[in-house]
């Protein structure tokens, strides 16, 4: 069946882990984080007339990233933080994913331009304040984990190469929040151009496990018309290509309506 990309997905992941539950509680109740996300939306939505970059988007990306991480891990991909001896804990690797995903857009609270780099820097004092209590008793060095989270935030930039599995799943997850006008390619509200038409044509995104393939992750994008391909080609594929997980992904566009059909699958690792 797969997992529907949406704000409810994250709950199914964090409730399985005391560590992730503590982190989620801290992220969603911290006054500074919530204020930054609200300011991100004021800049993006109210001032630039773009799409959502606030708390709902943060929750959607968090769930999508953890879903992608779990699928890849079940198929033998090891977290970079474990490979490079930053932690020996799988939950700590997931902590990097969760916190990187939730905080990745806080830089928009300052400005849209260079917001990934700005956000990574802004995250440092927040993480210094929150991480010691979150990882207490865990096999996690809060300062090394902080760097990994900052890398995940910075690497969401379209032209920045993600160097870790954790950052890669956050980067790809960011692009999956594109249903019902939630496109990651910003478009001006009320303006009828290819940006707006493509965003509004996408109805849902499903992340599912492809059990019988060397490409274990399938991202299915359901759209009402071919304009939705613009979002796939301009956002999802470039983000996959600047990750380290492209060879494990199939992107499958699905056309709905009277001309309903599955379109030719896209194999980003071969592009």
**Residue range 119-144: mean pLDDT, rounded:** 96
Sheet hosting strand 217-223, strand order edge to edge: 3-4, 202-209, 217-223, 249-255, 261-262
Burial 9-35 (b: 16+ CB within 10 A, else e): bbeebbeebebbebbbebbbeeeebee
Q: Is the pLDDT of residue 188 over 60?
A: no
How sure is the predictor about 271, in pLDDT bands with cuts at 50, 70 and 90?
Answer: low
pLDDT value of position 191 = 60
What is the token pair recorded at 46? 């109210």
| 184 close to 199: Cβ distance less than 8 angstroms | no
270 Cβ neighbours under 8 A, 6+ residues apart? none
Strand, helix or coil at 96? helix
Rg (CA), the chain: 18
pLDDT value of position 25 = 98
How sure is the predictor about 183, in pLDDT bands with cuts at 50, 70 and 90?
Answer: low
How sure is the predictor about 127, in pLDDT bands with cuts at 50, 70 and 90?
Answer: very high
Q: Is the pLDDT of residue 208 over 80?
A: yes
84 Cβ neighbours under 8 A, 6+ residues apart? none
Higher pLDDT, 194 or 118: 118
pLDDT value of position 195 = 65
pLDDT value of position 189 = 60
Instruction: Report how far residue 106's alpha carbon sits from residue 36's, in angstroms, rounded to the nearest whole number.
Output: 6
Q: How many residues does the chain have?
A: 271
**Residue range 122-151: mean pLDDT, rounded:** 96
Helix then strand count (H, E) for the chain reads 12, 5
Nearest residue to 146 (alpha-carbon basis) of 123, 167, 118: 123
Tens digit of pLDDT for each residue in 92-104? 999 999 999 999 9
> Where do the domains of the chain lie?
3-270
Q: Is the pLDDT of residue 258 over 90?
A: no
| 208 close to 197: Cβ distance less than 8 angstroms | no
How sure is the predictor about 185, in pLDDT bands with cuts at 50, 70 and 90?
Answer: low
What are the respective helix, strand and coil percentages of the chain, to the nearest 5? 60, 10, 30
Instruction: Report how far residue 45's alpha carbon sits from residue 52's, in angstroms, rounded to the nearest whole number.
Output: 6
Tens digit of pLDDT for each residue in 33-84? 999 999 999 998 889 888 788 999 999 999 999 999 999 999 999 999 999 9
Instruction: Report how far residue 200's alpha carbon sits from residue 210's, in angstroms, rounded to the nearest whole number.
Output: 27
**Residue range 182-190: mean pLDDT, rounded:** 59
Residue spans of alpha helices (H) in the chain: 9-14, 18-29, 31-41, 55-74, 80-83, 90-103, 115-134, 142-154, 165-176, 194-201, 229-231, 237-241
Neighbour-count burial of 152, counting CB atoms closer than 10 A to its CB (0-12 exposed, 13-18 middle, 19+ buried): buried
| Reported pTM | 0.94
Tens digit of pLDDT for each residue in 211-246? 877 999 999 999 998 888 988 999 899 999 999 999
How sure is the predictor about 193, in pLDDT bands with cuts at 50, 70 and 90?
Answer: low
pLDDT value of position 187 = 58
DSSP for residue 47:
I
């Amino acid at each position: 069946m797969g997992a529907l990309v949406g704000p409810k997905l994250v709950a199914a992941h964090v409730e399985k882990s005391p560590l992730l539950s503590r982190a989620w509680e801290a992220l969603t109740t911290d006054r500074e984080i919530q204020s930054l996300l609200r300011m991100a939306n004021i800049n993006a939505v109210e001032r630039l007339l773009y799409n959502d970059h606030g708390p709902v988007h943060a929750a959607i990306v968090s769930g999508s990233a953890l879903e992608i991480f779990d699928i890849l891990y079940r198929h033998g991909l090891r977290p970079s933080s474990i490979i490079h001896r930053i932690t020996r804990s799988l939950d700590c690797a997931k902590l990097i994913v969760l916190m990187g995903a939730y905080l990745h857009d806080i830089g928009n609270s300052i400005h849209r331009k260079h917001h990934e780099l700005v956000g990574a820097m802004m995250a440092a004092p927040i993480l210094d304040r929150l991480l010691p209590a979150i990882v207490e008793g865990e096999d996690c060095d809060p300062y090394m984990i902080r760097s990994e989270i900052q890398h995940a935030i910075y690497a969401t930039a379209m032209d920045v190469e993600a160097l870790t599995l954790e950052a890669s799943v956050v980067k790809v997850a960011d692009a999956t929040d594109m249903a019902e006008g939630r496109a990651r390619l910003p478009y001006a509200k009320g303006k009828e151009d290819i940006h707006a038409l493509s965003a509004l044509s996408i109805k849902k995104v499903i992340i599912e496990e492809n059990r019988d393939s060397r490409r274990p992750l399938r991202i299915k994008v359901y759209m009402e018309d071919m304009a939705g391909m613009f979002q796939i080609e301009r956002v999802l594929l470039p983000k996959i290509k600047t990750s380290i997980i492209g060879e494990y992904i199939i992107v499958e566009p699905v056309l709905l309506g009277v001309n309903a059909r599955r379109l030719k699958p896209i194999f980003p690792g071969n592009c």
